[in-house]
Chain A
């Protein structure tokens, strides 16, 4: 029975390809390839916590640790001083290695912040640190209530 699955998948895939439903090339290597290289210095090219199986795992097991920790006090923009602020928090990515991964990582961070701030948020600080050829992003933000 199991020997039939590969041909079926193959036929389905050929159909998908013939209809132009081929996935776009993505910048991040699969985590298994990074692990296979045993390169302990290539911490990771991407943040895998928000993709595929890892998204499910982290939601199931790491709810508490996923909440952003309060950061050091940061100056509040006077323009927003009259609007109630929930908190000032930080969120950071893993190290990223190239321009497209950097953009993708920053976008993922903003998505994560959006999920923490139901209405609006603003960035209060944006910092980068480097390790070798890789860069880590750290965003500080505050949620703003209407």
Chain B
């Protein structure tokens, strides 16, 4: 099936681009028991399974075009909002010695600055369950500083609201990465919603077999402001087995269903990964998520499950 999908996607590309095309993706499914506010069920869930193509094409000496097309597909039932494929990150841009300029729909610098700190990424314990700023922005234009600035990285993005009545957004980040240490800071202004500003600071350090991560976020929605933090740990017992745990707490989290900010959000997860190869991992996890709206609990959810993650 993947070969068929890849063939369809690639058939749409000019033959001259195929030389540098990389097809990539992942299929991640979990069989889990969900207890959501007292309602229990067994479910098979697809966790951000996707397929994409990316590549580059030399234009002239020191200048090339870059592109990426990525679509999410639901491995469990093949349907999300009535569609088999849903757009994820997509961009096209130019890359030269002075840096990269790119436009499309993709994750903001503030979202990307989290790097590998979220050790339950794409699962129920994903930091997006309680944190703001996990924005895949539409109509975004971004400049990325070149690799020549060494261990530092920097990005700044402009997000057009395409509406005179709504302020355009700005997202920016800087990072520092060397050996097993990473630091990053980022800010959003009018990105998640108008008058919602936030900043995020991230640190990750790997000491032999143990990776430790921390994330701090501050949000100001124009009426209230609040803090949030997350700590994570991943311990590689051996090349095949890793144990991991993560805890996060935030004062405010925008709830798109109720179109307001949930309060006192908390998430805790523990789990284990069993790597069969660099591409295939079996995993198990337990996650608990809690949130209030005006002091009324709207999330008191528990999840326990096992799954498989195949990447290519």
Contact = CB atoms under 8 A, between A and B. Distances in A.
A62 B7 CA distance: 12
B26 A25 contact: no
B57 to A, nearest CB: 11
Interface string A6-44: 110110010011000011111011111111011111011
A28 B31 contact: no
Nearest to B155: A38
Contact of A30 (B52, B306, B307, B312): B312
Given A25-B278, A57-B23, A60-B7, A10 B312 contact: no
A84 to B, nearest CB: 29
A30 B66 contact: no
B24 A31 contact: yes
Chain A contact residues: helix, strand, loop or mixed: helix
B148 A132 contact: yes
B83 interface: no
B275 interface: yes
Contacts of B160: none
A130 to B, nearest CB: 10
B165 to A, nearest CB: 30
A66 interface: yes
B202 interface: no
A91 to B, nearest CB: 12
Interface in B83-108: 89, 93, 95, 100, 102, 106-107
A9 B16 CA distance: 39
Among the interface residues B24, B100, B102, which one has the most CB atoms of the partner chain A within 10 A?
Answer: B24
B288 to A, nearest CB: 22
A3 B54 contact: no
Given A6-B306, A26-B277, A49-B22, A38 B3 contact: no
Given A6-B44, A38-B89, A23 B278 contact: yes
A80 interface: no
A56 interface: yes
A41 B54 contact: no
A41 B147 contact: yes
Contacts of A132: 146-148, 150
Given A23-B277, A132-B147, A40 B100 contact: yes
A133 interface: yes
Nearest to A44: B22
B24 A32 contact: yes
B18 A65 contact: yes
B22 A48 contact: yes
A54 B153 contact: no
A131 interface: yes
Contacts of A30: 24, 26, 278-279, 311-312
Contacts of A57: 6-7, 10, 18, 21, 23
Contact of B76 (A2, A10, A44, A53): A2
Given A22-B276, A23-B276, A40-B93, A31 B150 contact: no
A60 B13 CA distance: 14
Nearest to A51: B312
A61 B31 CA distance: 37
Nearest to B277: A23
A41 B68 CA distance: 14
B31 A3 contact: yes
A41 B44 CA distance: 36
Interface string B234-247: 00000110000000
5 contacts: A6-B44, A32-B24, A32-B26, A58-B18, A132-B150
Given A40-B144, A65-B18, 20 more contacts: A6-B30, A6-B308, A13-B276, A13-B308, A25-B239, A25-B275, A30-B26, A31-B22, A31-B24, A38-B107, A43-B56, A54-B22, A57-B6, A57-B18, A58-B18, A60-B7, A61-B18, A61-B21, A62-B18, A66-B19
Complex A-B, nearest 8 residue pairs according to Cβ-Cβ distance, in ascending order: A23-B277, A132-B147, A31-B24, A30-B311, A65-B19, A41-B147, A26-B278, A25-B239
